[in-house]
């Protein structure tokens, strides 16, 4: 279940229309009956044309055939959703080419992409269900434990929520990546050329970085928010070298915070627990990594709570509803994220070495994809190097989208 754009250039305009029809049908049908796909497709060549496209799409795993008691039908796969999202980003000039995967997060794939000027950006693809469907063996999902349509819906919600928060945080001047576009389960954002705190083994002044991170956490609280996963993977550390007039260089470390689908309000029923968990996490990282322990106790939730909205701080926990995510939707998303968290804790090995399980993951029903074809288009997994520079991005592949427009 990783982004694979190889089949994209082989799709014809009618295939795109049929793919869009399956997506449209998915809004009301868990399994979209062929008759519905025919109705939504609006292509010339009638029913047999639609069937040819269905077979093309199924062959490359963008839709999957599901046999049900009452009727046979199709379901969009994560691959199909990826293509539709990339298609939208390409149309809006947010993404022109796709490069390598820089990270596999808990519930996401992180890709380097570029726009048509060559400017590099990050594409985050939300993949809720990836952990659960691999660990919950009893989950009799339609696609041999592949994530169901509802996981895809939740991934779209996660992307919407993350984009809404990133936008609001950016507006308030928080150090976060610049949100650029969102489509379905994906976000395009600015590339932060900085390694996660995880990769940093020493800093000149741990006390000041610690103070800065705690101040940031309290600033979130003042705006009514708790990050909810304030850990060493979600804090990137930029190091800007400045040279003073006397020629002495100094390094200024600036944190940039990422990863917002699990953000919650300071008014959440379990707010105190999540607030304390974020604080503890930072303390633990600094003790372990830099042997630094602050002499100041706290900060404490009850004190932070008193600061909400102070000094004219805009309440950002209201952002979600303003962006059309209802309380019910937010609850569903939260439940899914907690489930994944619990799965991860219970089975940490289940989502490590993702790439090694490639074989089993690719076998979509009806998939006749030829392995090894167009080998030069294999996507290389790259890492953000220790020096904080992104390596290996010369491998960008232009998206070939032939949708007839």
Residue 103 binds: one of ligand ADP, Mg ion, none (C-beta under 5 to 8 A by kind) = ligand ADP
Q: For residue 43, what are its two tokens?
A: 């292509």
The number of C-alpha atoms within 13 Å of 186 and in the hemisphere containing its C-beta is: 28
- If one asks whether residue 32 binds ligand ADP (CB under 6 A), the answer comes out as no
Give the residue among 84, 111, 85, 91 at the shortest CA–CA distance from 99: 111
Q: Does position 258 bind ligand ADP by CB under 6 A? A: yes
Sheet holding 179-183, edge to edge: 179-183, 186-190, 120-126, 108-114, 97-104, 397-398
Judged by CB under 6 A, the chain residues 375 through 394 that form the site for ligand ADP are 384
Which stretch in 71-79, 97-105, 209-217, 296-304 sits in contact with ligand ADP by CB under 6 A? Answer: 97-105
In the region spanning residues 133 to 192, those forming contacts with Mg ion, defined by CB under 5 A, are none
Q: Which stretch binds ligand ADP (CB under 6 A): 98-106, 129-137, 266-274, 352-360?
A: 98-106
Instruction: Quickly tell me which residue has 């989208």 as its tokens.
Output: 401
Contacting Mg ion (CB under 5 A), which of 77, 234, 262, 265?
234
Nearer CB in complex with Mg ion: 126/219: 126
Site membership for ligand ADP, residue 123 (CB under 6 A): no
Marked catalytic residue, from 4, 82, 229, 278: 229
* Residue in the shown chain whose Cβ atom is closest to ligand ADP: 105
CB atoms within 10 A of CB 139: 14
Q: What's the min distance (Å) between Cβ of 66 and ligand ADP?
A: 28
189/285 with CB nearer ligand ADP: 189
Q: Which stretch binds ligand ADP (CB under 6 A): 15-23, 99-107, 287-295, 303-311?
A: 99-107
Which option in Mg ion, ligand ADP, none does residue 57 bind, with CB closer than 5 to 8 A by kind?
A: none
Binding mask 288-327 for ligand ADP (x = CB under 6 A): ----------------------------------------
Q: Of residues 108, 132, 155, 265, which one binds ligand ADP by CB under 6 A? A: 108
229 classed as catalytic: yes
Q: Which of residues 135-194 bind ligand ADP (CB under 6 A)?
A: 177, 189, 191-192
Q: Using CB under 6 A, which of 110, 125, 159, 285 touches ligand ADP?
A: 110
Q: Rg (Cα) of the chain, in Å, rounded?
A: 23
Considering only 4, 107, 317, 343, the residue that binds ligand ADP (CB under 6 A) is: 107
Angle between helices 13-26 and 46-59 (to 10 degrees): 80
Binding mask 196-235 for ligand ADP (x = CB under 6 A): x------------------------------------xx-
Min. distance of Cβ 220 from Mg ion in angstroms? 16
Residue span binding Mg ion (CB under 5 A) among the ranges 62-70, 85-93, 103-111, 169-177: 103-111
- The nearest distance, CB 351 to Mg ion, in angstroms, is 13
Residue 259 contacts Mg ion per CB under 5 A: yes
Which residues are marked as active site?
Answer: 229
* Binding interface with Mg ion (CB under 5 A): 105, 233-234, 259
Site residues (vs ligand ADP, CB under 6 A): 102-103, 105-108, 110, 122, 124, 177, 189, 191-192, 196, 233-234, 258-259, 384
């Amino acid at each position: 279940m990783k982004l694979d754009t190889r089949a994209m250039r082989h799709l014809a305009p009618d295939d795109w229309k049929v793919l869009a029809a399956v997506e449209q049908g998915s809004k009301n049908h868990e399994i979209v009956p062929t008759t519905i796909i025919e109705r939504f497709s609006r292509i010339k060549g009638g029913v047999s044309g639609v069937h040819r496209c269905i077979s093309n799409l199924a062959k490359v795993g963008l839709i999957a055939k599901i046999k049900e008691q009452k009727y046979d039908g199709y379901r969009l796969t994560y691959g199909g959703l990826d293509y539709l999202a990339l298609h939208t980003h390409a149309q809006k000039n947010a993404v022109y080419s796709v490069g390598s995967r820089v990270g596999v997060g808990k519930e996401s794939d992180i890709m380097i992409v570029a726009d048509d000027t060559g400017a590099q950006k990050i594409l985050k693809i939300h993949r809720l269900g990836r952990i659960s469907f691999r660990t919950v063996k009893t989950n009799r999902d339609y696609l041999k434990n592949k994530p169901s349509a509802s996981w895809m819906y939740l991934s779209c919600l996660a992307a919407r929520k993350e984009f809404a928060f990133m936008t609001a945080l950016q507006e308030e001047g928080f150090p976060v990546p610049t949100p650029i576009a969102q489509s379905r389960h994906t976000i395009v954002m600015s590339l932060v050329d900085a390694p996660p705190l995880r990769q940093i083994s020493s800093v000149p002044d741990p006390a000041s970085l610690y103070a800065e991170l705690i101040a940031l956490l309290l600033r979130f609280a003042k705006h009514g928010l708790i990050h909810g996963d304030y850990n060493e993977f979600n804090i990137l550390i930029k190091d800007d070298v400045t040279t003073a007039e006397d020629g002495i260089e100094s390094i200024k470390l600036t944190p940039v915070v990422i990863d917002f689908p699990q953000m919650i309000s300071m008014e959440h029923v379990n707010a105190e627990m999540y607030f304390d968990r974020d604080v503890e996490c930072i303390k633990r990282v600094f003790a372990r990594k830099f042997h630094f322990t602050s002499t100041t106790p706290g900060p404490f939730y009850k004190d932070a709570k008193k600061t909400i909205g102070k000094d004219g701080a805009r309440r950002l926990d209201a952002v979600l509803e303003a962006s059309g995510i209802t309380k019910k939707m937010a609850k569903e998303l939260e439940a899914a994220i907690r489930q994944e968290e619990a799965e991860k804790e219970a089975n940490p090995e289940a989502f490590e070495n993702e790439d090694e399980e490639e074989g089993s993951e690719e076998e979509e029903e009806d998939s006749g994809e030829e392995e090894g074809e167009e080998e030069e288009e294999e996507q290389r997994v790259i890492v953000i190097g220790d020096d904080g520079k992104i390596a290996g991005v010369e491998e960008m592949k232009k998206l070939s989208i032939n949708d007839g427009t």
